[in-house]
Amino acid sequence: MRYRLVSTANVVHIVYEILLYVWIIIGIWGLFNVIYHFHRGFFEARGFKLYYGFILVYKRTKKIKPLSLYRKLSYIHIPFFVLAILTFYQSMITSIFIRLGLSKGVPAQLLIPGVNITGIQLVYFVIAIAVAAAIHELMHAYTAIAHGLNVKSIGFALIFILPIAFTELDEEKLSKASTRAKVTVLAAGPSANILLALLALFLLSFIVSPYGIVVLDTLPGSLADKYGLKQGDIILEINGEPLTRSLLAKYLNNRTGVNITLKILSNNRVKTITIYKPGNVTRLGIAFTNKPVDQLINMFGLDTALAISFIITWLYLVNLGLAVINAAPLFVSDGGRIVYEVFKNKNVSHAINLFSLLILVLGVAPLK
């Protein structure tokens, strides 16, 4: 993923970028409002409705056909749901230890559009959210139908720029179903997301190289700027060794002055530059990402290869996050509902949900 550079110029650029995107989105919504006003019947006949000028809802009430042989296969959702729950507790507890200074690493962070997700990354993020939400809700719907439960409607909504999906189950029939059926239906959504996350992670192992980084931006006045590094440069080696993030950090964290020789692919030409890094400087001053594999770059070009790696990375992150949050017992989540179905005791279920909520808050909140 991209590492942002922090400077006054960067902050101004980020604010300008956010405002530009906001005005573009407002303009698109304004145009759609005009079209919707004059063709309301056309849209509503096809299941679309516009609320408050910036909430577009599509609802399908037509009966969904069940998938043959899926009922027996649907029980595979339960172990993957358990995997998602374990991932939630492991990641949150690890994050708490890191925030307390008891362990090293990067703590869990909230992804906030417009704050730590901007520019083209915001587009990839929204696409990943749309895919993850749609798969999540479709899996709930098809699993319910496979177990003989009614689905009143399925659909999606676009709230300004945030896409969401929904499945409206027949709650009366769901309440009368067996515990096994209810757990399977509720587990299907998080399970689908964890499976998609694993698939994306598998694909990333083939399209992202373990060596080399791509320069996405440089900070004015930094070492990178001084020695001529620029956007699109691919750093292949450092002091004769294939470059990795950890190796780069090792040299940059050296507290004595050191020469760093970089082998760089720039404009399809390989060149070597030697940078003197003072002991009091620990950054090159670049925003960067891992290099896509050479086959992908040769086939599509660097920009397209980066776009492919970014979208698959976001599909991994978003599906993993959605699976973990929905599997966690958090009162209104799928996991929260499953706890009530399994334990049948409100006090025990309340306690489990409250404990999970506390773990979540401590895992993402700054403690130091």
pLDDT, one tens digit per residue, over 224-239 is: 989 999 999 999 999 9
Instruction: Note the pLDDT tens digit of each residue in 314-328.
Output: 999 999 999 999 999
The verdict on 106 and 196 lying in the same domain is yes
Q: Evaluate whether 340 touches 349 at the Cβ level (below 8 Å).
A: yes
CA 107 to the chain's CA centroid: 16
Cα separation of 335 and 175, whole Å?
16
In this structure, the dihedral spanned by the alpha carbons of residues 193, 194, 196 and 198, taken in order and rounded to 10 degrees, is 170
The verdict on 120 and 239 lying in the same domain is no
- Given pLDDT bands bounded at 50, 70 and 90, which one contains residue 152? confident
pLDDT at 8: 55
Domain boundary among 265, 284, 303: 284
Residue 6 has pLDDT above 50, yes or no: no
pLDDT at 358: 94
Average pLDDT over all residues of the chain = 88
Q: Evaluate whether 189 touches 137 at the Cβ level (below 8 Å).
A: yes
The verdict on 156 and 245 lying in the same domain is no
Give the mean pLDDT of 119-137.
89
For residue 131, tell me if it sits in a domain.
yes
- Given pLDDT bands bounded at 50, 70 and 90, which one contains residue 215? very high
CA 113 to the chain's CA centroid: 11
The percent of residues above 70 in pLDDT, for the chain, comes to: 93
Residue 4 has pLDDT above 50, yes or no: no
For residue 121, tell me if it sits in a domain.
yes
The set of residues, in sequence order, having a beta carbon less than 8 Å from that of 64 and lying 6+ positions away, is 141, 142, 145, 151, 154
Give the mean pLDDT of 81-105.
92
More confident of the two residues 255 and 185: 185
The verdict on 160 and 111 lying in the same domain is yes
Cα separation of 15 and 118, whole Å?
10
Task: Please classify residue 257 by burial: count the beta carbons closer than 10 Å to its beta carbon, then call 0-12 exposed, 13-18 middle and 19+ buried.
Answer: exposed
The verdict on 197 and 67 lying in the same domain is yes
Most confidently modeled of 11-20, 64-73, 120-129, 342-351?
Answer: 342-351
Cα separation of 115 and 1, whole Å?
15
Give the mean pLDDT of 192-213.
95
The verdict on 171 and 196 lying in the same domain is yes
Domain count across the chain: 2
Distances (CA, A) of 331 to 120, 325, 327, 328, 336: 34, 11, 11, 9, 4
pLDDT at 33: 94
Q: Evaluate whether 195 touches 189 at the Cβ level (below 8 Å).
A: no
Give the mean pLDDT of 266-288.
90
pLDDT at 168: 86
Residue 161 has pLDDT above 80, yes or no: no
- Given pLDDT bands bounded at 50, 70 and 90, which one contains residue 115? low
Q: Which range marks the domain in which residue 243 is found?
A: 220-284
Cα separation of 116 and 139, whole Å?
30
**Lowest-confidence range among 65-74, 104-113, 142-151?**
104-113
Give the mean pLDDT of 23-30.
88
Query: Can you spell out the DSSP letters for 313-361?
Result: HHHHHHHHHHHHHHHS--SSSHHHHHHHHHH--HHHHHHHHHHHHHHHH
The verdict on 184 and 249 lying in the same domain is no
CA torsion sign for 278, 282, 285, 287 is positive
pLDDT at 3: 47
For residue 325, tell me if it sits in a domain.
yes
For residue 356, tell me if it sits in a domain.
yes
The verdict on 76 and 192 lying in the same domain is yes
Residue 2 has pLDDT above 50, yes or no: no
The verdict on 89 and 228 lying in the same domain is no
Q: Evaluate whether 163 touches 131 at the Cβ level (below 8 Å).
A: no
For residue 140, tell me if it sits in a domain.
yes
pLDDT at 154: 86
* First CA to last CA distance, the chain: 25
